[in-house]
Chain A
Amino acid sequence: MICVQRTEIAIVGAGPAGLSAAASAASAGAAVTLLDRQEQCGGQLIKQTHAFFGSEKQYASVRGIDIARLLTEQVRALPNVEILNEATVLGYYQDDGVLAFEKDDRFQKIKPERLIIATGASERTLAFPNNDLPGIYGAGAVQTLMNVYGVVPGRRVLMVGAGNIGLIVSYQLLQAGVEVAAIIEAAPKIGGYLVHAAKVRRMGVPILTSWTIKMAHGQDAVEGATIWQLDEKWQPVPGTERELEVDVICIAVGLSPLAELLWQAGCAMKYVPELGGHVPVRSELMETTVPGIYVAGDVAGVEEASSAMVEGRLAGLAAAQSLGYGLTDAAGLIEEAQRQLESLRCGPVGEKIRRGLAQVGR
């Protein structure tokens, strides 16, 4: 027999956004059920060994691994949060508002009054000959293997992509004693923070902008790669090919929101390249076009963990407030969260995000 559990607010995903949402909603007084498929909360923070940017309010200068621990402790200390780890949400039934999940090999259901979706994003891949060879891994995958499980991916790596993930994972590969042959970037400029770029450059790793991968080589697994240069129209220039002997190729070409649940729930979606793909249309309080369903973090648009935490706080507060909780101070806290988001996004690196967000207002 399958009985349906009930809760006031269900949150899917216990990464920076989901944990922050749980903390703010429960602090306002709501009963919260937080579901995550991993055995440990923290989402992708659990492999981020570097210190974060932002201000003290977003744990700046604290390592991601420690932010995961701090946020998890904060949520665990709240008696009105139930954390379901190793619970994989499988679907959302629009007709009756039931969320289905698998835990302990059992199909289970929960019916929340409000739902916050904070499922994050997945790594993109890149099309080139032999891109399916073993040894070609998402950069985040290599980070997981190395920093969570203590296994190095190989001996010598080609990093494809000089955004923050490409730069950070390159640095972490060096910390684990793995050689990085080069970081290549198809765009004419480094996409990630230049301070991250400087850290790998002074370790002697070249960053080649306007370069891309032509193909990978190898029989059963990667043994090498051919890279070539791009002209100002992003077209490869024949004759510029270079061979690199590498046993790992890391793909760091961006993330796409993991939005399946939002589609199932019938939320209005919009394709916004600036935000990483299909993202939900939502209000300033992070509520989608389906009343009672909120979003936070990368699933709402790929950005930084710092803004994911603030979005989570905002969505948690708004959901709790809509249930009648925290009415005395919610307005002030919501305003404060919105102010923080604005300040995180107001600089040149937030320009793309601002352009994307301008397209998804409800």
Chain B
Amino acid sequence: MLEKTGVPTEQDLAGVIPPRERLARGPVAVIECFQRIPCNPCYTACKQGAIREFADINDPPVIDFDRCNGCALCVSKCPGLAIFVVDETYSADRALVKLPYEFLPVPARGQEVDLLNREGRVVGRGRVERVQNAKVQDRTLIIWVAVPKELSMEVRNIKVGDCQ
């Protein structure tokens, strides 16, 4: 179905979502890369050695969730913008999703934004906690957005209104 719609199915996602125990321990990368394509910058970007070296450059990435510390360095290095970091320990009822963002306007810290799912549908409101824009990210911003915990595996984009 992914090949028809561009949206991964629950079954696709089941293969990449970290185990519950790992999510309970803090931030971790979720790599939503389901197709064999010739690409490996996530491996070269990872300083933790959490993304396994590619035997064949076409292999989908394999991540060691125990080594991943959720630093998000890979998020802006992935040419497909397919990596997200999820922190389910952020607060009692909120999870933090760090997502790649290459649009205008850039949200401000503290701004309330619409939360979008993988189909671009609004699924709730969230608060921007931080906007990362270091030189090494090369204009792919990383937005830290606090979302209702039950939406941590749904929210993959934000929509920023024109004013605060």
Contact = CB atoms under 8 A, between A and B. Distances in A.
Contacts, number: 128
A61 B79 contact: yes
Given A196-B80, A202-B157, A347 B118 contact: no
B115 to A, nearest CB: 11
A174 B118 CA distance: 16
Interface of B is mostly: loop
B58 to A, nearest CB: 3
Contacts of B104: 175, 177
Contacts of A197: 6
A202 B120 contact: yes
Contacts of A347: 36-38, 56-58
Interface string A325-362: 00000000000000000011111111000000000000
A198 B82 contact: yes
Interface stretch (A87-95, A129-137, A187-195, A264-272): A187-195
Given A174-B103, A209-B4, A344-B57, A198 B39 contact: no
Contact of B4 (A52, A190, A205, A348): A190
B6 A207 contact: yes
Contact of A194 (B6, B40, B116): B6
Interface string B50-66: 00000011100000000
Q: Chain A binding site: helix, strand, loop or mixed by DSSP?
A: mixed
A198 B118 CA distance: 7
Interface in A185-219: 188-190, 193-205, 207, 209
A193 B45 contact: no
A291 B8 CA distance: 50
Interface of A: 50-56, 60-63, 66, 174-175, 177, 188-190, 193-205, 207, 209, 306, 343-350
